[in-house]
Structure 1
Amino acid sequence: MIRVLVADDQALVRTGFVTILDAQDDLEVVGEASDGRAAVGLARRLRPDVVVMDIRMPVLDGIEATRQLAGPGVAEPVRTLVVTTFNLDEYVFQALRAGASGFLLKDATPQQLVAGVRTVAAGDSLLAPAVTRQLIGRFGARVRPAEPLANAHSVLAPRELEVLRLIATGLSNAEIAATLVISAETVKTYVSRILTKLDLRDRVQAVVYAYRTGLADPDA
């Protein structure tokens, strides 16, 4: 059973999410929060598998709440799935940097919400490729460079660098496999190696890393 905490200040939206998630045999909503501070407190007490987190909330916004639950230095991070409207995409980028495991748009279908929670709970990252390309392309340049390019070049093999650049464009493993004419399983191995070598938690951090270091070009 996947245990979920839903945080959203809009009661109607929150109730809708709870209804959708609780209707699944493998999902259980263990708590609800109407602001970021309450979300952090409940998540630390209840230890859900996934927090479905809104960004714009009173008292403490979703970005800071995400940072406190999953950011750098958190000993036992809680996986967070951010939901937002597309006109708040700059905040989504900040949320990814704060440690979110992925994001969905609020106009996602119930099936996409359920699949997103399951994906994040399984330890994977949820990035909608088309949205990711526009999101990172628009805001990626504002936060780089932070780490020297030599770091990635000295640690990663040429093929791994190539895969990292494709990850940064928002391509899925299957799309990367088709682009490089290799198997999806091989791509999965490359992704695992990249995360290990760069000490990154997940695919989301790999995307942010690529743009922060200038390895990927937001204007490309």
Structure 2
Amino acid sequence: MESVLEEQNIEDVPKVGMCFGTIEDANQFYQNYGKRVGFVTKIRFTRRVGKDKVPKNQMITCNREGKRKSRVSPIEKTNPRTNYNCPARISIRLNKEGLWIISKVCLDHSHPCDPEMAKLLTRNREMTMHMCRVIERNDEAGVRPSKTYQVLVGEAGGFSKINLMEKDVRNYLSRKVRNVTEEMDAREMLKYFTRMKEMNSDFYFDIELDQNKHLKTIFWANARSRAAYEYFGDIVSG
């Protein structure tokens, strides 16, 4: 743990007396510190006062604090999680000037911290706008998500340099399609599909209207899906 802390700038390490403009700023500071050191943070509790439930104090800990007893046998668990009663935490309070002050700090952990592994935890994974554009562009060109992920890894300089997993690429594509169908009306959706068709002639879509000219069914397939269908002769999801 000491070797990790030695690499940190003194301003990056939590210490008593540090001030933040908002409670969110304090949370983000400790979360960023945890990412660099190699652990994930969580809010242990927040004390609120008054009718408006204004926060006055908060404790933020390592997510491996405490001990939990499960009714499920460890042998039967499909995704077991170990808690180490970790003491690492900070306490913050709101002062009279409206600033959030760190009042208590414990930097010691009862378990190993690994910055490389911490980067791949769900809370720490990141997707930049450039990554989103690469994913969308490759999907429109029919590139499989696994190949797109390899491209992103190459651009980053290796697996150790990227805070992303292959399933994040697939999840992004799934969310994008879902957002299109949920948030766009029929006219906007038609414009979107037409634009996709102009960008890639292998993109196919078909829209069916009911008797009242209302949208009834939608079907679309990108180049990758159509190529997979031609090869396997069946419906393939990617």
TM-score (norm 2): 0.23
Q: Whose radius of gyration is greater, 1 or 2?
A: 2
Higher helix share: 1
Higher strand share: 2
TM-score (norm 1): 0.24
